[in-house]
Every structure is written in C-alpha cells, then in structure tokens.
Amino acid sequence: MYVLAHLSDPHLGPMPRAHPFELAGKRAIGFINWHRGRKKIHRADVLLGLVSDLREQNPDHIAVTGDLVNIALPGEFHTSREFLEALGTPQAVSVVPGNHDLYVRRVRDAAMAHWGEFMAGDGGEGFPYLRRRGPLALIGVSSAVPTAPFMATGMVGTHQLLALRDLLDRLRGEDLFRVIMIHHPPMTKKGDRFKRLIDRIAFRELIAEHGAELVLHGHDHVHSIAFIEGPGGPVPVAGVPSASSLGGHGDPAAYNLYRIERRDNVWRCEAVTRGLRRDRPDIAELARRMIA
Ligand SMILES: [Fe+2]
C-alpha cells in the first residue's frame, strides 16, 4: 500500500514588507486584498495544525499543487522554501506552481529558483516532469502563466500537452499508477471565466484518449471530484481546499490521503479527507488545539 497526500494553495503568510517599487501594478491590488481580507482567511495557525496532522499520518509522498505564495515577493519565496523543507525532502515532496506563484511576469524564474529540487523530474528540470515513486508515476504539469490584474487564468500550452501525451503513452505499458498534478482544474464551471484553465478542453481530450489513473488540482479552494471518461474507465479529477483556510468563500482547510495498491491485477485507490469542519462552532480554536 502506497500513501500519497495532496495539499494545495497554502497562500503562506505573513505578507513581508515590500518596497514601493515592488508594489507597482497588479501586486498593489494583491497587497491591498491580502491586508483587507485574505489574511483573515489564510491563517498560519490553521496551516500548522493541518501540516502537523498530515505528518502524523506519515504518507509516503506529498503532492503540493501550487499557490504557495500570494503576490510573489522575494520574502514570500523564502518563507515558502522553509515551508516545503518542513513538509519533507525534495525526494518526498512534489510541487507544481500556481497562478499566484507567477503573479507577475518578472518573477517567471522565482519558483524554479527556490523550489527547483521539489519540481525536478527524475531526468532533470522542465515541465511536464516525471517522478517514479513506488508504484506511482507522478507527473507535474505547470498551468501557471502571468496574467493581467483581476485574472487568474492558467494554460498548459502545446509543448507540454504534446510531451504529456507521449509520457502517458509510454507509462501505460509500464503498469504504473499515473498521477497528474496541475494547479488549475481541467473541468469547466459556470462563472469562472476569469480563473479557468484556457486549454482545459484540449487537456480533457488528451486524458480521454491517453488515460491516467488520477488527476490532482487546487485553485478553487473547495472539495471537488469529477471524472473524465478515459480509455480504461473513468479518471478521477480531485481538488482540495486551501490548506490554510478558515473557510470564507471556500471550504475550510483540508488535505486528502490516497491509499493506492495493486490487487488482483486491478488498481485500488481509497481517498480519505482530513481537515477542519465547517460545522464546528469555533474552528480557529480547533486549529489551535491541533497545534497544541
Ligand atoms: Fe490559484
């Protein structure tokens, strides 16, 4: 039995001090949004509680599907590196970037510079990457692209789609449980024009034709499960809430554990969700107790 944990969108605080020149344009809006509201939702105490619970579960591997930072300031990347090191070694933790990690064009290389070891494939850097871990083929896809203010869209792009197609085909013959990690959900939802994956249809068609065993994503900050009809049966597409969230517009913080094994020549995958519950009277207090 191999256990894979999935957490996403920690949106790590606190927001570091910033020089005025660093806050030009889109970052200024994000900076104000953080101090006006987001910092009350994305809480360090909640994240600490969740991570300490996750570590107790002792998973074999942890997938982190992006949005570690908020407006991609240099200080945020230092904090995020420490966060990843606290989760585990680069061998045991796999990361893909989210839209907040590439918030503005000029930080295009910052995520790779700080988390490169957590985003390196077995054969080197570059997306999509492939990491073989136990019975798993972990495939990291980047959907992070710089966007205009108020936009949080993502795109995989032709280069990655073609490489992903070849990877999926090659791995199918190796009897590995193929897990694709991507920040943006490949499923369409009404009203998400400003935050959707632009080439989601091409991505879904690719999975429908070439298959995968599991697709993990973040971005929406809610629990979600959907299926793409693949060549060997339905492919689950699962999202988790933000790992630091008290609730608000999304679901309260949670992570998923996938217990994966091959039995009688068939893959079996059991999913367990652990996290804060919205119906608890004071989930902040619960988070504090989780830490204690
Ligand atoms: Fe996102």
Q: What is the CATH number of the domain that holds 98?
A: 3.60.21.10
- % of the chain residues with pLDDT over 90: 72
Residues 189, 195, 200, 201: what is their CA dihedral angle, to the nearest 10 degrees? 50
CA of 264 to the centre of ligand 1 (A): 39
CA–centroid distance, residue 68 to ligand 1 (Å)? 9
Mean pLDDT of 96-108: 91
Q: Measured in angstroms, how far is the CA atom of residue 184 from the centroid of ligand 1?
A: 7
- Tell me the CA–centroid distance for residue 173 and ligand 1, in Å: 33
pLDDT at 191: 63
User: Where does residue 197 rank: exposed (0-12), middle (13-18), buried (19+ CB within 10 A)?
Assistant: buried
Across the range 280-286, mean pLDDT stands at 57
Residue 92 CA to ligand 1 center (angstroms) comes to 23
Residue 9 alpha carbon to ligand 1 centre in Å: 7
Residue 281: pLDDT over 70: no
Q: How far is the CA of 8 from the centre of ligand 1 (A)?
A: 9
Distance 263 CA to ligand 1 centre (A): 36
For residues 78-102, average pLDDT: 97
Give 289's pLDDT tier (boundaries 50, 70, 90): low
How many domains is the chain partitioned into structurally?
1
DSSP annotation of 50 reads H
Q: Quick check: 219 pLDDT over 70?
A: yes
Ligand 1 center–CA 199 separation, angstroms: 16
User: Residue 97's pLDDT band (boundaries 50, 70, 90)?
Assistant: very high
Q: Which of 2 and 19 is assigned the larger pLDDT?
A: 2
**In which band, very low, low, confident or very high, does the pLDDT at 280 lie, cut at 50, 70 and 90?**
low
Ligand 1 centroid – CA 165 distance (Å): 24
Q: List the domain range (segments joined by +) for residue 37.
A: 2-291
- Summarize the confidence of residues 88-117 as an average pLDDT: 93
**How far away, in angstroms, is 75 Cα from ligand 1 center?**
19
- Going from the Cα of 182 to the center of ligand 1, the distance in angstroms, rounded, reads 10
> How confident is the model at residue 124, as a pLDDT?
85
pLDDT for 201 = 95
Burial call 102-117: b when 16+ CB within 10 Å, e when fewer = bbbeebeebbbebbee
pTM of this prediction?
A: 0.94
Q: What is the mean pLDDT of residues 203-209?
A: 98
Structure tokens at 110: 């910052």
More confident residue, 40 or 66: 66
Q: 267 CA to middle of ligand 1, Å?
A: 30
pLDDT at 12: 96
- Rounded to whole angstroms, the Cα distance separating 85 from 93 reads 9
Question: Who has greater pLDDT, 284 or 291?
Answer: 284
What is the DSSP code string of 243-282?
TTB--TTSPPSEEEEEEEEEETTEEEEEEEEEE--TTSS-
Out of 46-60, 74-88, 195-209, 276-290, least confident range: 276-290
For the segment 128-137, the average pLDDT, to the nearest whole number, is 98
Residue with tokens 């945020």: 76
Distance in Å, CA 100 to ligand 1 centroid: 6
- Mean pLDDT over all residues of the chain? 92
Question: How many angstroms is it from 240 CA to the middle of ligand 1?
Answer: 12
pLDDT band at residue 292 using 50, 70 and 90 as cut-offs: very low
At residue 192, does pLDDT exceed 90? no
3-state secondary structure of 3: strand
Q: What is the mean pLDDT of residues 284-289?
A: 58
Range in 71-85, 149-163, 233-247, 271-285 the model is least confident about = 271-285
Task: Give the number of other Cβ atoms within 10 Å of residue 232's Cβ.
Answer: 10
pLDDT at 288: 58
- Ligand 1 centroid to 44 CA: how many Å? 18
59 C-alpha to ligand 1 centroid (Å): 25
Q: Which of 25-39, 42-56, 110-124 has the lowest mean pLDDT?
A: 25-39
Å from CA of 195 to ligand 1 middle: 8
